[in-house]
Structure 1
């Protein structure tokens, strides 16, 4: 691995205009090693399948209706606007720093190595668990595909079946990922097509041909507010959007594998939120309006409503086709998660930020992918899947803090960007918000803090034990504490060989080089 150079000196001394992708990368202190094969639609597809509105709607539909009835659908729009603000802030940063490992590199350039290390620790923990839960959740779809009947379309896999299927999913996705960026681009596009077919086309079909409820039902809470109270219903329903609309940051994780990333990635991140949120809203509305017995879902009597709705509207064959489409989306989604976190680990290792960095930073010459980083990020998911096999109830505890960790990592970058602005940073990438940047940055931070507070609140089921009610916050604080202790003791950020040059300095020099 070549030694990185001081990024400020590289920009200042170079006579080459930083207009080409590789020149921009060298100006930031790194030599190009990855393969730029992810075009605009492939990059967008990666973010979209990671966000996965299909998986999100299927997973959260019942919870939303039991919390606040059909009116919970509007949280998709509220959270969509908030996440779009975050995506716009990320867009300004990635346009100036189009580097692999996105969030880590952005936080380091905007603040410091120690700040970036802790943020990356939190984010990596969250996404690693995301790989695990996505793979495990696919198991019930596989079971329903092969074991489901017209009388019982929804089948839950046994703990052993669930673990076996999840590991097979991880292995398949890993093998595809190891073949190179070109394969990732193709699979991402296939996943995008599956998602759009399963979300938009199905949503339109249900709305137009299978509608059993009036449109006005979308504004009805169907008694949930009077039962739970306005505040409880309002906050409970917020999970409909909060659990669904993230993953757009993965577009930036592969910046060094994307042509013209400084202009392209800000657009693909924003497009991911807009199209993902819009299609999720359409699908959610379609399921609500096509539900033959909506009250049974709202009351909690029907615990897994989507297969029943599909069986009633599409029949057995149509339901099986949908499950195949959904499984395609699951595979593409796991591949996207593996890619995002492996590129962050690769970027981390390239800067010598933890033990074994030299091995994890290696890039295979034939495929141009960080093979060791890809292998490493799948070790913990396999161990967690085996753990869940013996302790099935632990899945809830393992997954609870996942979304909190991701949102907190996002806001660490948003806050770092606002801090850098206060010190004089003016985004110097070819894509920026101009005079609106600071206002959008503040709005994104306010939204993000509010989202973290809501996600950290205890479960409304007071019959649960204290630890179960507060498990999301407890899990998150535990991860933060472990990471902080390690950072203070081992001081990995002080051993870093990362290029120097903070956001303000690099912005000034990049502006001079134009």
Structure 2
């Protein structure tokens, strides 16, 4: 099947009205998306996609079963690794300020074929994330708050409806999606941090039998076993959680003053998440009245809160956490559609002519949003049918972004010394090279943790099967398009950047 390449008229750069548009024009694109996002909205996207409430609610039980209460001390290690990644991405986002971050960075630094694979793994990550978070997090929490235990089929149907609702929010416009995510910052803080602080204050005032203990912070009694291997596995608490902060860079073409706002949004998103997440983990762990009961619980955070607080108050917090998860998916669907849009305008996808269309009224890539939502629903249904939905979906949605990080850092290490820094933009200077080395070591370590244990082989199979599809598309169709000049981008050069 042959799909038309965007016309020269479409690709020609129109006269730019501001420096952001001039930067876009230097790469050969016209400004089609509407620039409305300021720093706080970009920070909110990074913060809400990381979503410490989602990560802690979903993964705290796994961590304490691996290494007891002391498992929370793996969080700062993961945070340090991801802050290094955030520094590298913040700098790179100023040098190639384009929507479709993973695809564009890989394609401009190495070539269109390389960009196809970085973009593909970015799409895979975002496509799985939407279905996983709604199915395993938001929907069960909402039913729990209502005191209902629905049949599996009902839970799946409601999850699908909620996910499609997130698509509708994005179709209405990026401003509405941004407002929801701005609100989600407050929801995150109320839903997990305020709950944690309230619980630890209640623990301090508690005078009955039982109750928590500061000794929980050094308790290494896991149910899965003991030893350094389980401490390493407990690190998945942070490795699973602190991903996605880079997706605010995917909305660069909708950012005002993108050269400053995007890197700040990326950095503040991950740093804020790291600090507030650690605070919440310490509070919950200190207040934990019974480690054994928490380890047996499907929702240990709820079990801890229920011990100290009235049930209606706990349920109110749960609703807020569920909202923050839904906001995460709204931001995720927005970024997914922008990556599809970016790859579509370069004819890298099947039916590219549809994905590159921007709705004249809403200024959103509507068809990309709809297809992205349908694909996410497909992954949701697939995960639902597996024996272990959690390991399959959460594992796969963690492996894919670290593959993207690996590909990005690898290409940036190769080309950073040849790239001119954007005037007045964020720049690592001489710290860039050592940070790239540290980042590369960290990514490889995280990928080993995510793929070697037998429990995660189901997730590996999902990523491997998707990779086979990516290779087939490239070999059978895309390679010919790129060779004929019908798809892809020109290799990135300093002269192109400064044009």
Q: TM-score, normalised by structure 1?
A: 0.88
2:179 aligned with 1:180, yes or no? no
1:398 CA displacement = 4.5
2:413 aligned with 1:450, yes or no? no
1:394 CA displacement = 5.4
What stretches of structure 1 of length at least 5 have no aligned partner? 149-154, 460-467
Tell me the residue number matched to 1:126.
125
Tell me the residue number matched to 1:502.
492
Q: In structure 2, how many angstroms separate the alpha carbons of the residues matched to 1:136 and 1:4?
A: 43
Post-superposition CA distance 1:53-85 (Å, at most 9, x none):
001001111111111111111211111111111
1:392 CA displacement = 6.0
Q: Mean Cα displacement is larger for which, 406-415 or 305-314?
A: 305-314
Tell me the residue number matched to 1:428.
422
Tell me the residue number matched to 1:357.
352
Tell me the residue number matched to 2:472.
485
Tell me the residue number matched to 1:319.
314
Cα 1:273–1:161, aligned 2, differ >3 Å: closer, same or farther? same
Cα 1:273–1:385, aligned 2, differ >3 Å: closer, same or farther? closer
Tell me the residue number matched to 1:260.
257
Post-superposition CA distance 1:175-234 (Å, at most 9, x none):
11111111011111111110111122222222333244333431331x339x73422222
Tell me the residue number matched to 2:218.
219
Q: Mean Cα displacement is larger for which, 424-433 or 21-30?
A: 424-433
1:418 CA displacement = 0.2
Cα 1:57–1:4, aligned 2, differ >3 Å: closer, same or farther? farther
Do the aligned residues in 1 keep the contact of 2:213 with 2:288 (CA within 8 Å)? no
1:315-464 mapped onto 2 (5 Å cutoff): 315-387=310-382, 393=388, 396-421=391-416, 424-428=418-422, 430-459=425-454
Q: In structure 2, how many angstroms separate the alpha carbons of the residues matched to 1:347 and 1:113?
A: 13
Q: In structure 2, how many angstroms separate the alpha carbons of the residues matched to 1:167 and 1:251?
A: 25
2:149 aligned with 1:171, yes or no? no
Do the aligned residues in 2 keep the contact of 1:353 with 1:496 (CA within 8 Å)? no
1:5 CA displacement = 8.9
2:1 aligned with 1:3, yes or no? no
Cα 1:115–1:161, aligned 2, differ >3 Å: closer, same or farther? same
Cα 1:130–1:493, aligned 2, differ >3 Å: closer, same or farther? farther
1:178-327 mapped onto 2 (5 Å cutoff): 178-211=171-204, 212-221=211-220, 223-224=221-222, 228-297=225-294, 300-327=295-322
Q: In structure 2, how many angstroms separate the alpha carbons of the residues matched to 1:23 and 1:469?
A: 45
3-state SS, counterpart of residue 241 of structure 1:
helix
Tell me the residue number matched to 1:135.
134
Cα 1:361–1:19, aligned 2, differ >3 Å: closer, same or farther? closer
2:477 aligned with 1:476, yes or no? no
Q: How many residues align?
A: 483
1:240 CA displacement = 0.9
Q: In structure 2, how many angstroms separate the alpha carbons of the residues matched to 1:440 and 1:293?
A: 41
Q: In structure 2, how many angstroms separate the alpha carbons of the residues matched to 1:496 and 1:2?
A: 10
Do the aligned residues in 1 keep the contact of 2:202 with 2:309 (CA within 8 Å)? no
Q: In structure 2, how many angstroms separate the alpha carbons of the residues matched to 1:349 and 1:162?
A: 34
Cα 1:4–1:418, aligned 2, differ >3 Å: closer, same or farther? farther
Q: CA RMSD in A?
A: 2.4
Post-superposition CA distance 1:429-479 (Å, at most 9, x none):
5221111111111211111111111111123xxxxxxxx652233332322
Tell me the residue number matched to 2:49.
50
Post-superposition CA distance 1:280-325 (Å, at most 9, x none):
111111211222212333xx33343122222222211111211220
Q: Mean Cα displacement is larger for which, 199-208 or 100-109?
A: 199-208
Do the aligned residues in 1 keep the contact of 2:83 with 2:267 (CA within 8 Å)? yes
1:352 CA displacement = 1.1
Do the aligned residues in 1 keep the contact of 2:358 with 2:365 (CA within 8 Å)? yes
Q: TM-score, normalised by structure 2?
A: 0.91
Tell me the residue number matched to 2:208.
none
Q: In structure 2, how many angstroms separate the alpha carbons of the residues matched to 1:58 and 1:435?
A: 39
